[in-house]
Amino acid sequence: MTPSVLSTRSLHPRDQFDAWRTWFSPVFDISRGRDESCFIAENKVWDLGGLLVSRVSAPSVRVLRARSNLRRAPIDHWVLSYCRHGSTGIRTKASSLVASSGVPYLWSFGDESESERTEVDRIQILLPRDTHGEMASVLDASTGSVLNSPWGHLLGEYMMLLDRWLPHLNSGELPPMTAAVRSMVFACVAPSADRIALANGEIGRVNLERARQAVRGNLKSPSLSPSSLGAIVGISRSALYRLFEHIGGVGHYIQQQRLLAAYSALSDPANRQSIQSVSADFCFKDASTFSRAFKREFGQSPSDVRAAAASGIPSSPPSRMRENPRGERFIDAVK
């Protein structure tokens, strides 16, 4: 799926901010937050059919949506924003908020507003009122608020995963994607048993990513195990096992990631550690256990990989062993 893209990078510095301001007019009137020689910014917008997702990277600005803007561009969308970096303050007649990075917040194009933000890297979900009317009472009740709650943080993590999925989305995958995003937003903005049940698959995908990150961050910890991982992620042991069932189980995944990290260390010509030291680093009880597991997974012994690295021969593990650099595709997740 190809997004619509506005980038100022190729423009002359004197033209960059004007191009950015013009692109957003008449929805907003934008002025610079700081007077700098250039204004390098990018906005990617994916149309999922019924909702939009945007990824914005831009310097600081002040943004006004006045009555004249509402009249010239009567767009009435709710906007869920999540800043990976940077912070935003928004003021309306009814409320004001300040959102720092890592916390989602909800606002609306339908309100007169003034906002100031620092340099940001931000992901947004835009929900048109005319196609999400059944959510109106719930979203209106939370408009103008920072979602600084466990469910809000879960939603922020989901938005990060969404950003990874979108570049690899096909047009035929739009309906399930749109339905899944709607269910996740509804569940996280106003949690209830029914809404959480509808979003259960999406919640599981966030928890799976949390678990994967926890494993990668603790590969050298002897305490990392299926038992401890559930406590790190904050889910039950049975829920954890269900998350990893389709990829061979929790214990298998932990060992696989340790073996991949060991492979990377042994294939690095600059790494002078002994094979025994590498095996101990990644919590194998002895070098022989490590060697057997290594050869079973890669079809090569640790010494084979070390020798290839020393002779300058490029070496990488089989593709089936490597983490998908794009992340799990959405359509694979919902099948």
- Residue 233 burial (CB count, 10 A): 21
**Among residues 185, 209, 211, which one has the least CA distance to residue 196?**
185
Residue 321: the pLDDT is 53
**pLDDT at position 165, please?**
87
For the whole model, what pTM was predicted? 0.82
Burial of 160 (0-12, 13-18, 19+ CB in 10 A): middle
Tokens encoding 80: 């869920």
As a whole number of angstroms, the distance between CA 39 and CA 57 comes to 11
Say what the pLDDT of residue 325 is: 37
How much is the pLDDT for 172?
A: 83
Pairing verdict, β 42-47 and 52-58: antiparallel
DSSP letter assigned to residue 285: S
Beta strands in the chain (DSSP E): 4-7, 29-32, 42-47, 52-58, 61-65, 77-85, 88-92, 96-99, 105-108, 113-117, 120-128, 145-146
- Confidence at residue 313, expressed as pLDDT on a 0 to 100 scale: 76
Q: Which residues of the chain have pLDDT under 50?
A: 324-335
User: Domains along the chain?
Assistant: 4-147 (2.60.120.10), 199-335 (1.10.10.60)
pLDDT given for residue 329 in this prediction: 36
